[in-house]
Amino acid sequence: MGWPIRTESMVCEQTGLSFDLTVATPTRYEAKPDGQWPVVVVMDGAWLFGSTVDVIRLLSMERTVTDAIVVGISFAETEMAEYLRLRARWFSPSEFVPPEIIVSGVAAEETGRALELADFVEAQVLPWVDEEFRTTADRTLVGHSFSALWGLRVMFDRPLFDAAVLASPSIWWDDSSILQFADTLHAKTLFLTAGETENVAPFNMIDRASALAAELDERDGIRAHFETMLGEGHSSNAIISISRGLRWLHDAR
């Protein structure tokens, strides 16, 4: 049985960027008019929203994942090359020209706009979700690659999310400039991953993500965990990490 899905268009008042929002509510949502649910925000909604909904829908039935309202946030751009450029511009923490093997046609001065995107999520998206749906204050982020890097920048800056599943975070960006912000972490529970084939220069996904998770896990009141996903590459790691990560969060919280 599929979950009811609602779609909405939203323009960022600060930047003028257009976004598509997709929201899935649990099967029990209508049957329990007084019920409230935690929220899972998927920043790469165009690619990972459906997978996240399926994981929660299936595994919540066996109580290994927490039932939740799932919110996908996507750039309202239909041309793939430009969509990739938007990710590099708006998910990144600092000005930097990304390698062409990742994305081409992006100038340094266009990038480093992660906190502007966070302002939009904080000021427009989350209030809209709370107004339109019966939510609790519990929020989890799902991100992959650049959107996982965005998740780190936001959680180092402000308490938007309580927990996160961050698959293959692009910590390598701008010589790991994200780490300069890591003194403060507002989320309490983090699950980081990398695929087995991703530990190649200059990205070194396993080394960077595992080191960060180990450092964060040493802090009082924080649980941070890293796993290498055997047999997985950069793209395939996203799917398996959602399932494994949401199950780990369920047990850890």
Q: What is the CATH number of the domain that holds 180?
A: 3.40.50.1820
Q: How many domains is the chain built from?
A: 1
Burial of 78 (0-12, 13-18, 19+ CB in 10 A): exposed
Contacts of 179 (CB under 8 A, 6+ apart): 171, 212
- Please tell me the distance from the alpha carbon of residue 207 to that of residue 236, in angstroms, as a whole number: 19
> CA 223 to CA 12: how far, in whole Å?
33
What is the residue range of 211's domain? 5-252
Question: Could you list the mean pLDDT of each consecutive 10-residue stretch along the chain, which spans 253 residues?
Answer: 89 97 95 95 97 96 96 97 98 97 96 98 98 98 98 98 98 98 97 98 97 98 98 97 98 92
The CA distances from residue 137 to 32, 98, 107, 131, 178, in Å, are 18, 36, 38, 12, 27
pTM for the full predicted model = 0.97
**Contact 41/141 with Cβ under 8 angstroms?**
yes
CA 34 to chain centre: 28
Query: Tell me, what's the pLDDT at 1?
Result: 61
How high is the pLDDT of residue 253?
86
- Any residues with CB less than 8 A from the CB of 61 and at least 6 apart, and which? none
